[in-house]
Structure 1
Amino acid sequence: MAFADYDPDLTDPDLTAIAPDAATAKILVAGGFGVGKTTLVGTISETVPLRTEELITEASVGVDDMAGVETKTTTTVAMDFGRITLSQALVVYLFGAPGQDRFWFMWDDLSRGALGAVVLADTRRLESCFASVDFFEHRGIPFALGVNCFDGRCEEDPDEIRAALDLSPDVPLVLCDARDKESVKGVLLALLEHVMRGLAAEAAADRQPV
């Protein structure tokens, strides 16, 4: 489903400033094991998402941290992939990165050429998204933090979450439900607005006299 019916700003031609040389843009969805990345991509994709999920077997015992997600039976072993038509001028491709430590070697390849990223967090296991936050901060890739509110509620204060992750004040933090399309749209919009603010700031800096 396209975003056209969500917010009138999405049809603004200025949105193409995000990807001036192409009609497509790439966004990563990252986070710890079992935080809801596959669900988020599947919820928002207008096409049947590509998934590379496999059954969790005894081989993962002692390798993957199952604390807090003991009932999880499958896991992404490569990536999830979905597509969203953002406007007539821009199509966004979503790449969901695997969350287990043993698959982090793939993140550099997946992040190449990315416009930005969504880091999905579970407040019951907030430490599981530390690595994702560090990854994008160190590479200068803009990101938004989506706090996945399991059971439709979040017990933690957003300001406390921001402080615990030592997030920069300009990084968007959005409470969301990865199962709800409108909620996921809100996270992606927050990311795109963050990216556009960054581009505008860079353009303004370039115009400053030397």
Structure 2
Amino acid sequence: MVPTPVKIIIAGGFGAGKTTMVGSVSEIPPLSTEELMTTASAGIDDTTGVEQKKTTTVALDFGRITISPHTVLYLFGTPGQDRFWYMWDELARGAIGTVVLVDTRRLDSSFAAIDFFERRGIPFIVAVNCFDGSDEYTEEEIREALAISPGIPIIFCDARQRESSKLALIRLVRYAMSRLPEPEMASSGA
């Protein structure tokens, strides 16, 4: 039996940890389009809060994780900078859901991803990537700051840790499945 492929998007702002998450959980060596940042991006890419960042995704990241003999997740990490957002429509096509990674040092960089998936009706969860040295916030504070609807899950994770990333993916799959329409019962015709 060939496993069912399930497409998942890992999205978020510039420097939120998308490449790291795909790499931490993928069972294959991930495909990454990371390139060194150059002076050409000066004044274009806002590195406030991530000044030490030296590389950036210029197309996508790709990984795979088998969650059962029947199901394989294909992970697609989006580029985070505004200039690459034109690719998001293609990457999101056919996805069952999205993990929107959030960096509390740069909450404002999360709005575009949240808006993108809300507008398209693609199920998403918010995964707060707990960076070393960043301020800690409660789920309620994050929900209020990002204007997240009450039904959308918010979790805290460490994208560097395989188990933490797996838990985020599990939460997303469960949430996406809960949003599927109920199967109609066939009438008995009696």
Could you say which residue in structure 2 is the equivalent of 1:77? 58
The amino acid across from 1:57 in the alignment is T
> Could you state the TM-score of these two structures normalised by the residue count of structure 1?
0.84
Partner of 1:76, secondary structure, is: strand
In the aligned structure 2, how far is the partner of 1:179 from the partner of 1:95?
A: 17
Partner of 2:127, secondary structure, is: strand
The match for 1:53 among 4, 9, 34 is: 34
1:153 positional shift: 6.9
In the aligned structure 2, how far is the partner of 1:57 from the partner of 1:187?
A: 32
Is the contact made by 1:44 and 1:184 (CA closer than 8 Å) also made in structure 2? Answer: yes
Is the contact made by 1:83 and 1:92 (CA closer than 8 Å) also made in structure 2? Answer: yes
User: Percent of counterpart pairs with the same letter?
Assistant: 59
The amino acid across from 1:180 in the alignment is Q
> Could you state the TM-score of these two structures normalised by the residue count of structure 2?
0.93
In the aligned structure 1, how far is the partner of 2:14 from the partner of 2:72?
A: 28
Is the contact made by 1:30 and 1:98 (CA closer than 8 Å) also made in structure 2? Answer: yes
The match for 1:65 among 46, 71, 91 is: 46
Pair 1:183-2:164 in alignment: yes
RMSD of the alignment, in Å? 1.7
1:166 positional shift: 1.2
In the aligned structure 2, how far is the partner of 1:126 from the partner of 1:43?
A: 23
Could you say which residue in structure 2 is the equivalent of 1:3? none
Gaps spanning 5+ residues in structure 2: where? none
Could you say which residue in structure 2 is the equivalent of 1:124? 105
In the aligned structure 1, how far is the partner of 2:137 from the partner of 2:6?
A: 33
Q: If each structure's helix is expressed as a fraction of its own residues, which one has the higher value?
A: 1
Could you say which residue in structure 1 is the equivalent of 2:4? 23
In the aligned structure 2, how far is the partner of 1:182 from the partner of 1:71?
A: 26
Listed one character per residue, the Cα deviations across residues 65-84 of structure 1 (whole Å, up to 9, x for unaligned) are 11011111100000000000
Q: If each structure's strand is expressed as a fraction of its own residues, which one has the higher value?
A: 2
Which stretches of structure 1, 4 residues or more, deviate above 3 A after TM superposition?
A: none
Q: How do residues 29-40 of structure 1 correspond to structure 2 at under 5 angstroms?
A: 29-40=10-21
In the aligned structure 2, how far is the partner of 1:35 from the partner of 1:197?
A: 27
- Tell me how many residue pairs correspond in the alignment: 185
In the aligned structure 2, how far is the partner of 1:26 from the partner of 1:60?
A: 31
Could you say which residue in structure 2 is the equivalent of 1:170? 151
Could you say which residue in structure 1 is the equivalent of 2:123? 142
The match for 1:203 among 159, 182, 187 is: 182
1:105 positional shift: 0.3
In the aligned structure 1, how far is the partner of 2:53 from the partner of 2:175?
A: 33
In the aligned structure 1, how far is the partner of 2:90 from the partner of 2:115?
A: 16
Partner of 2:23, secondary structure, is: helix
